[in-house]
Structure 1
Amino acid sequence: MSAILEATENTSVRHSAAVRRNWNPARLARVAARFVSVLVCVGIWQVLAEHHVSFGLVTFANVPAPSDVVPAAWALFHSPKLPMHLLSSVMRVLVGFVAASAVGIGLGLAIGRYRAFEDAVLPPLEVLRPIPAVAWIPLAILMFPSSEMSMMFITFIGALFPILLNTIHGVEGVDPRLVATARSLGTRGAALFGEVILPGAAPAIVTGLSIGMGTAWFCLVTAEMIAGQYGIGYFTWESYTLQNYADIVVGMLLIGALGMGSSVLVRRAGLALIPWYRMEASQR
């Protein structure tokens, strides 16, 4: 019984110490500084838009102020269409991201590991990589029988290349001595990938997944320009055509918040699966 009480007390002490480390004065100061920086930017935006400031090439004459955006956001959050907008956009991004993850990681492992595969597959991918998502719209409409699949394809293209390139760099960055040691112990084929190469490249893959998720949201407006009646990107583009300028900013901020939140979620989930990397980082 005393052992149990001692273990419980030790766990409580460690938890309290972790809380103190996470909320020490320096960390609180950084959080406060970041919050203040956001408030300052919003204040500058309010002043520039309210006074219709013009810098010649850039003018704020038609830009809605935060005081106009807040009521528009409140109206959207109470709109019955918001759940459908969110569901449509999340499904398009999620399907495109999952497909891009499977293709990007698979190709990245093969390209990073086998030089012949790199010579055969990487050059055409490098030709396609600089093409912006908006340029894929006509071809996507021709390639797929439904507009929904076309929109998912655009988000797939947006997420694919960050995941692919980070996976390639991660595989190429694996210490050759680890591979040689594993080979000397008889590790070959799938076992070599699963036990040496994939764990070694995992941190770079997680970074690629996080960037790819953000890029998929970045391409959402482009994807939802194709067709549809729902989606945050569609809502943003429709607001522009109807000259509801405050709603444009609301849609932009909502896409930014969703993209940032999902990228952070993907990164934290990925890091939770590679505890050895977190241990190495804590020892630096």
Structure 2
Amino acid sequence: MRFYRATTFLFPHSYERRILFFCFGAVHVPLIACVVLQAATGHWAFSTLLTLLLATLAGTIMGMAAIHALLTPVREATTMLQAIQLGERIDAVPQGGSDLVGRLLDSVTKAANETAARIETLTDAAERDPLTGIRNRRGFLDSAEQALRARTNAVLALIDIDHFKRINDEFGHAVGDTVLKSLATRIEDHLRRSDIAARWGGEEFAVLLPDTNLDEARLVMERLRATVALDTRLGIEDRPVTFSCGLASVRGFTHLGEATKQADAALYAAKNAGRNQVHVLGL
């Protein structure tokens, strides 16, 4: 490190040029020695000097080209480390040997993998509901934005557990939590892989059904409602758990906010109509 610091005045912003500078000087040592020797003896062999000069120049060019190529992994490793510091993902890390550069690349690979794992863990924790394990509102919106990017025909369903406050009051919050977790599992098990489910908040869940119209979505949610109502393993022994649901069409991610209002209004209408039903405004 001492020599490195002492030579920082040479090309302070380019480590590669600093190496090339010293290599250039080292390659010319034989030529300089020959010139000094012939000047001291007074015997000049110009053909020898010319040959040595040309050979030195050729060797300098080849040496610089080789050094430039050998430093490529170092440049790539530096770029990758900078990307890792910015939280970016590294798609591919070049493999090195057992030399210094190879060990550097191995270290970058390890740092990239560990950082990517930490990012995935943090992202998953930030977008997952800790109680139910499914997406939270943030995770739902992020996934919905991707799902709706290329699709304009989708349906949003808002689900609310009927009389959930009564469940908490009569059986306790531990039972209420069990009901929430059980319903979240039923929702995810019942839906297609392309559908997106999330705990919207409290006892409310949201489901996005891409490439689906209102009639299809209503059939899906009616089957889910009936399955849940008949399920005696949701956390309350010998007592059914039901939910109400409101549906609304979604025409792209920019329309999701308006669709949420419509689905919420449909959900409110389903509750006013007696609960345990799926409702679409205007139908």
Scaled by the length of structure 2, the TM-score of the pair is: 0.22
Scaled by the length of structure 1, the TM-score of the pair is: 0.22
Using CA pairs below 8 Å that are at least 6 residues apart, which structure has the higher relative contact order?
1
Larger Rg: 2
Point out the structure with the larger strand share: 2
Point out the structure with the larger helix share: 1
